[in-house]
Amino acid sequence: MTKLAFLDLVPVVEGGTVSQALTNAADLAAHAEAQGFTRYWCAEHHGMRGIASAATAVVLAHVGAATSTIRIGAGGIMLPNHAPLVIAEQFGTLDALFPGRIDLGLGRAPGSDQRVAHALRRTLASDANDFPRDVVELQSYFADDGRTGIVATPGAGAKPEMWILGSSLFGAQLAAMLGLPFAFASHFAPDALDQAMAIYRRDFRASEQLERPYAMAGFNVFAADTAEEAELLASSQQQAFVALRTGNPRQLPPPVLGYRDSLGAQGAAILDHVLQCSAVGTPDMVARGIAAFVARTGVDEVMVASSIYDHPARKRSLTLTAQAMQAMKLAA
């Protein structure tokens, strides 16, 4: 049966603080663990007032201390921003602290604009085109196979579960070639989803880590006891997305009644397209939405994304989503 994972951007809400966002992240991860979610991921983003997970490995250490069984990981680390050795050391440390629970999802986007990317790297001589080579170098540090001539400490012998992330066909091709699990960012970039999944499964080569293809895809879920409440909760992420797309990123705003309709037909159509991999409504509505998404994609896991302004409402949404999945299992 399809598993549930959770992606947390560790949102900083309007009127809130980074400290509160991090406290909420640990609480949310523990709640997801109690609800039976398989894994909790946070993502590397930089220079954004509304996202508190830039120091991703540090956030994961914080979350790991608040949980005991759920897998925790990066969805993802933007590898072009870092020397592979540094990531081997960071995730080798996490693996030592929380053995058997660490995931390392790798992406080739900067997680920022070019100005921030330059501030991170100091030089842009190394770019996203080096991504496959950097992934292989990172694997070598964990394998401690001597190919780099350097022993990563921590890192050598660590066994984080490595994933390739993508929102295009490139990630699917690389994951297939390396025999790694693949996660597609359909929660905000759905256009290439079906083709990417087909390429990944068609071209997959078995590896020491994985014998057969294993895929996950992002899916927005806003669950509440009524459809009207769920629509209201979803408006915070809709506002944040519109702000980002118009070059005005902001902290996660409070929900606004009727926000989507206020955009007019063109604005609403843009949101509907970009956020088409979504389910908003009651548990029954969410269950139908997830079931249709799984039937379409055949994914092994659904990674739920859900940026909700009110923390208790966000936890309630996770609870209802887990209940919806359980109902699907019983009905299968």
Q: What is the CATH number of the domain that holds 146?
A: 3.20.20.30
3 state DSSP class of 300: coil
Rounded Cα distance between 197 and 35, Å, is 28
Q: 314 near 308, Cβ under 8 Å?
A: yes
Average pLDDT over residues 34-38: 97
Calculate mean pLDDT across residues 87-96.
98
3-class secondary structure, 163: strand
Q: What is the pLDDT of residue 326?
A: 85
- Domain region containing 12: 3-331
The owner of tokens 């109902």 is 327
So what's the pLDDT on residue 246? 83
Which residue carries 């509505």 as its tokens? 285
Quote the CA–CA distance of 114 and 323 in Å, as a whole number.
42
Radius of gyration (C-alpha) of the chain in whole angstroms? 19
> CA dist 256 to 167, 236, 274, 285, Å?
29, 7, 20, 21
**Alpha helical stretches, state H, the chain:** 18-34, 56-65, 84-97, 114-121, 131-143, 169-178, 193-203, 227-245, 259-262, 264-274, 283-297, 311-331
pLDDT at residue number 265: 84
* 264: pLDDT strictly greater than 90: no
Sequence-distant (≥ 6) Cβ neighbours of residue 89 within 8 angstroms = 152, 153, 154, 155
- 31's CB contacts (< 8 A; 6+ apart) are 315, 318, 319
pLDDT tier at 247 (50, 70, 90 boundaries)? confident
| pLDDT score recorded for residue 331 | 66
- Report how far residue 236's alpha carbon sits from residue 105's, in angstroms, rounded to the nearest whole number: 26
Tokens 């007032």 belong to residue: 49
- Single-letter residue type at 327: A
63-75 average pLDDT score: 98
pLDDT at 112: 64
* Overall number of domains in the chain: 1
Over the stretch 94-143, which tens digit does the pLDDT of each residue have? 999 999 999 999 999 865 677 777 777 756 565 557 899 999 999 999 99
Better-scored residue on pLDDT, 245 or 235: 235
CA–CA dist 319, 33 (Å, integer): 11
- Nearest-angstrom CA–CA distance, 166 and 186: 9
Supply the mean pLDDT for the chain: 94
